[in-house]
Amino acid sequence: MLSLILLLVLVGVAAYFRSPAWLLSLAAVVGLALGGAAWWAYIPVLIVAAACCIPPLRDFILGRIFGLYKKITPAMSETEAAAIDAGTVWWDGELFSGKPDFSKLQNFTTPTLSAEEQAFIDGPVEELCKMLDDWEMQHKTKDLPPEAWQFIKDSGILGMIIKKQYGGLEFSNYAHAKVVMKVATRAGSAAVTVMVPNSLGPGELLQHYGTEAQKDYYLPRLAKGLEIPCFALTSPHAGSDAGGIPDFGVVCKGSYTDPTTGEQHDDVLGIRISWEKRWITLAPVATVLGMAFKMYDPDGLLGDKKDIGITCALIPTSHEGVEIGRRHYPGGSVFMNGPTWGKDVFIPLDWIIGGVEYAGKGWQMLVECLSVGRCISLPANSVAAGKMAGYTTALYARIRDQFGLPIGKFEGVDEALSRIGMYTYQMEASQDLALTALDNGEKPSVISAILKYHNTERMRKTLNDAMDIHGGRAVVLGPRNYLAAAYQAIPVAITVEGANILTRSMMIFGQGAIRCHPFVLKEMRAAADNDAKAFKQAFGGHLHFAFTNAFRSFWLSLTNGVFAGAPKNSKATARYYRQMTRLAANFALVADMSMFSLGGSLKFKEKLSARLGDILSNLFIASAVLKRFESQGSQKEDEAVMRYAAEQALFDAQTALDGLLRNLPMRPLAWLLRVLTMPLGHNINAPADKLASKVADDMMKNEGMLARLSKGMFVPDNEDEAIGLLPVAHAAVIAAEPAEKKLRNLTRKGKLVQPSPALRLQEALDNGDITQQEFDLVTRGRQLKRNVIMVDDFDMQLEQHDEKLLERHVF
C-alpha cells in the first residue's frame, strides 16, 4: 500500500510539472523502491517505461496505432478543411493546452484609440447619431433619413477598414468596433448599415485577395461612398450549410456590355451565373454585388478540373440580368436587407475577386475574413445593447419608486440589474481581448465563434432583464421607449453570421478541438499525408499530454487550484487565475477523453460538443474579465462587477463540465473523469447574492463604475429625449430625497393631513416645515420622475393612419 501511495505521489508530482517520459518512469521506480515493493510490482512499470522510452519498441507500438488511426479517422470535406485551416490560434490555444501561461495574457497590449480615431468618434460619429431617430425610421420613413445616408457616404465611415492609400480611414479593428458600438447605442439599423461594408464584403475581400486593377478601381470608390457594397452568400436552401449553396456558374464564351463604360465585349471567356439569394444586407440599394457561387468548367476551357469550387466575384448591380430592389423587413428593423437573383448572367473572368487564379478559393477566402468580421460587428452591437440597457435601467431603477423605495433597492430587481451589469462587463471585456488579437495580426477563428455566440446570447439576456425591470414603461411603443427597437431586433443578431445553435453545438469546439489542440491537427495531417514519422512524434506527445493532464486535473481539482501559481500584482484576481488553471486542466483532460471515446462520431454528439465549447468559452470570458480589470488599473469601484463576472464565468464552465460528465456515453470513463475533475463535487460556487446587490447598488449611483461600464455610448444632451432625460431626472430625484424623507416623516406624525402628495407639499411649505428651496427641489424631482415614467399614447385610429404614430400626446 505504501509503495502504491509513493508511486502515485512521485509520479503525480512529476506529471503535474509535465516532466518528460523518462523522468516519469524514474519517479515510478523510485516510488516503488522507497515503499519496499515486491519485485513483481516493478514489471508493469518497466513495461510501460520501455514502451515509452526505448525508441525501437515505442516506434513499433506507434506504428500499429498509426495503421489503425488511418482506418478510423473520417475523411474531411474541402469546406471542413478550409474552415479548419482558416485563421490563427491565439489565447484559445493556451486554454486548450491545459496549462495557460497567464503572464502572456497580462502582457498582451491593451488596445487604445489613436487621436485621429477618437476625434472621429467624438466628431462625425456623434454628428451621425444626432441625425437618427429610431422611432421615426421604424414607423414613418422605414429607412435612414436621406441626410444620414449622405453623411454616411461623405464622412468616410464606410471606409474604416480601407487603407489610406486608397482614400480610406485605415482604422484599427478596435476603433472600428467602437464606432459600430456607438452608432448601435443610438440606432441599430444605422449600425448595421455602417458595419456591413466594413465587415465581410467586397472591401475586406478586395484588400486581401483583389487584383491591383480591382483594388485601384473599387477601393477608392468604396471609401468615398460612391459604391454601396453587399455580399450575397446565403440562399433559401443553404443557410447554415453555406458550403452547400446551389447557385452556380459555368465557364463559357459570351458577350456583355460593361456597365461602367458602356463598351460592348464579344466572344469573351467568362462565366454564366444563375443565383437566388435571400437575407442579403444592403442588397436593395447596393451598387456592387459580391457573389459566392459554385463554379464549373465542363468543357475544360480553363484546364482539366471540371468542378472548380466556390468562387467569389464582383458584379455591378447595373449589369444586365442582375435583379435587386425588393426588401425584407427583419424583426422590425429598417436597415436595407433583401433578395437578389439572376439567371444566365454572363460576366468576364476578370470579375472574379483576385482574378482567375482565385477561382475555386472562395470558401477559404470567406472563412478567413469571417473570423475577423465576427469579432467586430455583432459583438459590438451586443456590447451596445448591454451598455444602453445597463445605463438606462440603472438610472430608471433609481428614479422609479414603489412602496417608498427606489425599485432597484428590491432584491428581485437588483438581481436582474446586476446581471445586466455583469453580462455587459463580460461582453466588452471579451470583445476587447479579441480585438487585441486582431490588431496584432491574428485571425482567431475559434475566438470569433465564441464572441458571436456568447455576446449575442448575453445581449438577449440583458435586454430581457431590462424589459422586466422597466415593466409597462418598455411594453408600450412610442418615442419614449428606448428598449423596444433593440428588443425586437434580437432574433437578427442570434440568426445571422452563423446561427447561434449551430455556432454553439458545432463550431466552437468542433473547430477548436482540431485547430487549438496541441496535437490533434498534427496527427490528422500526418495520417492524410501518410507520414508515419510525423504521426509518431505527434501521437507520442499527445499520450504524454493526456497522462500528465490526468494528474494535473486531479490535484488541481482536489485543491481547487489553491496551490496553482497566479501572476504577480494580481491580488484581487489571484484566486480566479488559480481556478482557471484548474478548469483548463479539467478541460484539456475531458476534451481528450471525449475525442478518444467517441472518435469521429463526436461531431454528431452536438450536445456534448456544445458543453465542451461552453467550458472553453467561459474560460476565455473569465480571462478577458481579469484582463480588463487589470488593464483599467484594478479600480476598487469595479471590483464587485469584476468578481461577479469572473465567478459567473467560472461557475458556468463548471456547470458545463458537470453536464458533459452526466451525459458522456461511456459511463465507466465518465465516472473516472468525475473523480479526476470533481473529486470533491462542485467546489466553484455561484456568485453570492450580496455581491450581486453590491453591483446593482454601484450601477444606480451613476458614478465611476457605471461611467466605465457605459463608456462610448451615445447619450443625447437633450432633456426632451427619453435617454437624455434620465441623468437629469436621476440627479434631481437624489437631490430631493432629504426633503422627501422629511415629508414622509411629517405625514407619519400626522402633521401633514392633506389628501394628495402635491397638497401635502404645499401644506409643508405653508407651515414652515420645509424651505422654498426644498419645495423647489421636490417639485422638480417629482416632475422629472413623472416624465421618465410616462409612456406614449396615440390617436385611436393609429392602425389606419401610420403617420399618426408620430403624433404623441404631450403631458
Q: What is the mean pLDDT of the chain?
A: 88
Q: Which of 584, 594, 641 is nearest to 616 (CA)?
A: 584
The model's confidence at residue 229, banded by pLDDT at 50, 70 and 90, is very high
The model's confidence at residue 72, banded by pLDDT at 50, 70 and 90, is low
83 pLDDT above the threshold of 80: no
638 pLDDT above the threshold of 90: yes
Is residue 219 packed enough to be buried (19+ CB in 10 Å), middle (13-18) or exposed (0-12)? buried
What confidence score (pLDDT) does residue 73 get? 65
pLDDT tens readout for residues 739-790: 999 999 999 999 999 999 999 999 999 999 999 999 999 999 999 999 999 9
**How confident is the model over 500-507, as a mean pLDDT?**
90
What confidence score (pLDDT) does residue 128 get? 97
What confidence score (pLDDT) does residue 42 get? 45
Contacts 24+ apart (CB under 8 A), 395-398: 395/700, 395/702, 395/726, 395/727, 395/729, 395/730, 396/469, 396/470, 396/473, 396/726, 396/788, 397/469, 397/696, 397/700, 398/700, 398/702, 398/730, 398/733, 398/734
For residues 104 and 111, give the distance between their C-alpha atoms in angstroms, rounded to a whole number.
15
Q: By percentage, how much of the chain surpasses pLDDT 70?
A: 87
Grid cell for residue 312? 467569389
What confidence score (pLDDT) does residue 809 get? 41
- Hey, how many other C-beta atoms are within 10 angstroms of the C-beta on 472? 8
589 pLDDT above the threshold of 90: yes
The model's confidence at residue 369, banded by pLDDT at 50, 70 and 90, is confident
What confidence score (pLDDT) does residue 76 get? 60
Q: Which of 490, 483, 484 is nearest to 391 (CA)?
A: 483
Grid cell for residue 257? 456590355
Least confident segment among 265-269, 373-377, 408-412: 373-377
Concerning whether 78 is annotated as a catalytic residue, the answer is: no
Q: Which of 634, 174, 712 is nearest to 432 (CA)?
A: 174
For residues 423 and 388, give the distance between their C-alpha atoms in angstroms, rounded to a whole number.
12
Give, rounded to a whole angstrom, the gap between the first and last alpha carbons of the chain.
84
What confidence score (pLDDT) does residue 571 get? 85
Task: Name the residue type at position 276.
Answer: E
What confidence score (pLDDT) does residue 805 get? 45
7 pLDDT above the threshold of 60: no
36 pLDDT above the threshold of 60: no
Side-chain half-sphere CA neighbours of 227 within 13 A: 26
Least confident segment among 10-24, 246-260, 459-473: 10-24
What confidence score (pLDDT) does residue 18 get? 65
75 pLDDT above the threshold of 80: no
For residues 272 and 255, give the distance between their C-alpha atoms in angstroms, rounded to a whole number.
10
What confidence score (pLDDT) does residue 234 get? 86
**How confident is the model over 13-29, as a mean pLDDT?**
59
Grid cell for residue 569? 500584482
Using alpha carbons only, what angle is made at residue 203 by residues 201 and 208, rounded to the nearest 5 degrees? 100
Greater pLDDT, 375 or 20: 375
What confidence score (pLDDT) does residue 810 get? 41
The model's confidence at residue 631, banded by pLDDT at 50, 70 and 90, is very high
Greater pLDDT, 668 or 549: 668
Q: By percentage, how much of the chain surpasses pLDDT 90?
A: 69
Grid cell for residue 761? 407639499
pLDDT tens readout for residues 289-312: 999 999 999 999 999 999 999 999
**How confident is the model over 37-48, as a mean pLDDT?**
52
Least confident segment among 28-37, 94-103, 295-304, 478-487: 28-37
Greater pLDDT, 168 or 403: 168
What are the backbone dihedrals phi and psi of residue 212, each rounded to the nearest 5 degrees, phi first?
-60, -40
pLDDT tens readout for residues 109-163: 999 999 999 999 999 999 999 999 999 999 889 999 999 999 999 999 999 999 9
Q: Which of 101, 8, 12, 18 is nearest to 555 (CA)?
A: 12
The model's confidence at residue 806, banded by pLDDT at 50, 70 and 90, is very low
For residues 9 and 21, give the distance between their C-alpha atoms in angstroms, rounded to a whole number.
16
The model's confidence at residue 808, banded by pLDDT at 50, 70 and 90, is very low
pLDDT tens readout for residues 653-704: 999 999 999 999 999 999 999 999 999 999 999 999 999 999 999 999 989 9
For residues 66 and 56, give the distance between their C-alpha atoms in angstroms, rounded to a whole number.
15
pLDDT tens readout for residues 243-269: 678 999 999 999 999 988 889 999 999
218 pLDDT above the threshold of 90: yes
Catalytic residue among 94, 227, 368, 497: 497
Three-state SS string across 217-272, please?
A: HHHHHHHCCCCCEEEECCECCECCCHHHCCCEEEEEEEEEECCCCCCEEEEEEEEE
pLDDT tens readout for residues 487-500: 999 999 998 888 89
